[in-house]
Amino acid sequence: MVYGIIDQMIWRPSLQSPQSVGIFARATGNGGDRNMISFAIDAGINLKAPFKGRDNDTVGLGWGIGRASSGQRRYDRNSGAPVQGNENHLELTYQAQVMPWWVMQPDFQYVWHPSGGVTDWTGNRLVGNEAIFGLHSNITF
């Protein structure tokens, strides 16, 4: 397994400003003979303090792709299942500091070709693209 992570602030109007822009990227490669996913990468951008008076909020946009391994694709071919390929996703999120001790984070994700193209429970058709909405809450004591 090989992986790398980059997470870097690339812009800040001044040292005193709460506002900043950051970028991130992650990549991983795994042995295709023993892992379902052999390659994955995701990247994105985030803006801290996106609105005046919201110094501890962050809005982020990210994209990612995962590739089914050669072992998984071989298994699919041998079993007669649709051969899995790539899954792509796009994510938009907003972290809002509601109270000094409470953060709420609504999240939207859209996934193209879930699991790289698998059939639904009937086995007769591929699972369609998916829109996912979520809400994360973090309370610090």
The rounded distance, in Å, linking the Cα atoms of 134 and 111 is 14
- pLDDT band at residue 33 under the 50/70/90 scheme: confident
pLDDT at 1: 87
68: helix, coil or strand? strand
Q: Which residue carries 């699919």 as its tokens?
A: 76
The whole-number average pLDDT for the span 16-30 is: 97
pTM here is: 0.87
Residues 64/41, Cβ–Cβ less than 8 Å: yes
Q: What are the angstrom distances between the C-alpha of 87 and each of 31, 35, 70?
A: 18, 15, 15
Q: Tens of pLDDT along 37-83?
A: 999 999 999 999 999 999 999 999 999 999 999 899 999 999 988 89
**CATH number of the domain that residue 31 is part of:** 2.40.160.180
Bridge partners, 86 (sequence order): 67
The whole-number average pLDDT for the span 97-125 is: 93
Counting the structural domains of the chain, the total is: 1
Domain with 27 in it: 2-139
